[in-house]
Structure 1
Amino acid sequence: MAQQGYSEACCTIPPVSANYKEKGEYVKIDGLKTYITGPETATTAIILIYDVFGLGPQILQGADILAHASSEHQFRVFIPDFLVGNLADPNWFPPDTMEKRKAMGSYFGPQGPANADKMLSKLLSVVHTLKEEKSVQKLGVVGYCWGAKIVSIASTENTPFGVAVELHPSGLDSADAPKITIPVCMLASRDEDAPTVKAFEDALVVPKLIETYNSAPHGWMTSRGDLEDPKGKADYERGYATVLKFLHQYL
């Protein structure tokens, strides 16, 4: 991989806190409540696509890390509320009953609020608005869990993004991989199916960084991140440092 565009010093993240107060603000972008953090003068934007549990302190802190870790390579980070409050019910997980599976099928299905194709349309509309109203010149995209699937289908030919990141992905499909046309970083947890992750990696034809955090649970970089646990905190910090370094390489 090309090494230009970042330094090791740029990729040292600030201290992580279990009791965190976010640095950014909420505004409306393309009609969606959106968390924004980072220098207003930055012309490179990162869009974060949260998991189906929405905004929480772990992802807000992650956004602030990506936005404020480097004074040399600045990002403006955006987290649109794509689901508009239509979040998944934690009681659906694990989907071990017919009732739970039916509820999830409706939620993610063609008419559901979390349908990936619908979210892709919303994402591209946000991109258009950012370019028109926020003087954004370059873009990266980061997806968590369900959001990682949207990243895959948003990273194909003619994508507006320059780099893609998928974190503890769900809905992973090796058929998506050869269609991706930009560098991709994927950090998987111990709970993702290892053969599926490997098949996806092998099918990629772009620069890539694929790692599995064997001690980390699914969701460790967002809603299930336990920042009061030393190991959970260490995996969270290492994950964001890895993502930051990859973004610096390719944006």
Structure 2
Amino acid sequence: MKLKIAVLSGDGIGSEVTQQAIKVLNAIAEKYDHSFIFEKAMVGAKAIEETGSPLPEETLKICANSDAILFGTVGDPKYDSNPNAKIRPEQGLIKLRKSLGLFANIHPILTYNSLIHRSNLKKDVIKGADFVIYREVTSGIYFGEKKLSEDGKIASDNCTYTSEEIDRIAHLAFKAAHIRRKKLTLVDKANVLETSRLWRKRVLEISKSYVDVKVEFLFVDHAATQLILNPRQFDVILTENMFGDILTDEASVISGSVGLLASASVGEHHALFEPVHGY
């Protein structure tokens, strides 16, 4: 098997972790007679410094013509402390997901017996936890229209979802639940948000095609509580962009460190793989 892999090490520790990942991939290639061709490209703060863009067109072209993307990390403290920055490193990853249609972020959460002491949570609560979060990452409030009044005192962010955007990731999550422990939890805020009510409506309809999968619904605030109180109850969690962004970071304490987790963003034609990082 011969594959081309785009390597976007990005900022900070991204270069170190991608170098180690390449070593692992080369070992796999040697053992199983594969051939991996790695092509490096810029993204994030380094790309801003050199090109003015967190995702240069050349980088996007390289990714679009690759079989997979190996991603490091993006971010720089100088942007975190500057609320007026119009261009930010994180915009590179967001644009990359959108441009390549990487709509589903798949985020496994599990505990390792040898590392269970790394978590601050009670061991008898987290031992055996093993679930996966399916987060929609190419729509929602992060991609909605953003407005700021001329006097800078009023701001708004629009959150929009279509049935098609919900359906495609819901099917992936149901298929995962079908081959796992056959339970899917939709996390929403359907008591107050119209977008959440659409999510719930579509999931209920799609569930008719997966009759062996048990479906439950949790409001996001209650889900955040249950992740800590009883993480073993979960199998597959399905949620929208912003809720998933928050919950995946919260869930990292179950494993003991956000640095122990992996993440994949997949679409119909492309896929991106990355380690998860702390702060």
TM-score range for the pair, normalised by the shorter chain length: 0.3 to 0.5
TM-score (norm 2): 0.31
Higher alpha-carbon Rg: 2
Higher strand share: 2
